[in-house]
Structure 1
Amino acid sequence: MALQWMILTYVVAAEAAVALLLTLPSPRLLKFRLVSFVSLVLQPCMFIVPFAGFQLLDIYWKNENRLMCTSEICTAAERDRYEKSIYKAQRNVILCLTACLLYWCIYRICKYYKDVQSLEEVEKRYKKL
């Protein structure tokens, strides 16, 4: 299971880096080349959304079937292990939601730049007339 979370962590880091690259000011030609490249890569990278959704379902199922350690019978070590598992589950939920949110942000940024580019082309055609 740790491998899945490590992969998801690296994907979130890569998505954050791409979102940062897309939003930083850069020369016009470089920006549109970068946007076109990222747009081509977005569709194959769509796997992250169902992957994160599956991980969320896994967290939910484990949370529903987790043994509760709230009674006085539990030892301090068991209580600590229970709390640690709750914190890890919360962290992983945030990681899954961040992966989906960053994917959506990158998609919208690319769509915005493509719309701007098409509007500029239309403006150029009208100026030539």
Structure 2
Amino acid sequence: MPAIMRLAAGSAKQAAARQAVISGNVANADTPGFRALDLAPFSPDDDFGLRRTHPGHFAGREGRTEAFELQDVAADPNGNTVDLEDQVLRGIDAARQHDRALTVYRSALGMMRAGLGRS
């Protein structure tokens, strides 16, 4: 697979993972003590570096992105830090990232087809 398509696929995967984290936040909006989470923005280095697929391997890093707790957010009296308005905005951002990645992927696929003389 060409590098641009791997990049687009990695970006789409990260956006989907982020959307799952955000939906978990929304689902727990009324859970006492729940702390809102998010994922770090997509980085091309995440998709092209060495991956450690087994704990016994030496090089690379883990092949998954870890969620982190949102800092500097106000907590409700029950200790919950989920702000639904903020989560909606984060969800929109993740959806846009996913759509952008799919557009890049489709464009690269179209260029490959055109290069082969197919439409």
In the superposition, the TM-score normalised over structure 1's length comes to 0.33
Q: Which has the higher helix share?
A: 1
RCO higher in structure (CA 8 A, sep ≥6) = 1
TM-score using structure 2 length:
0.35
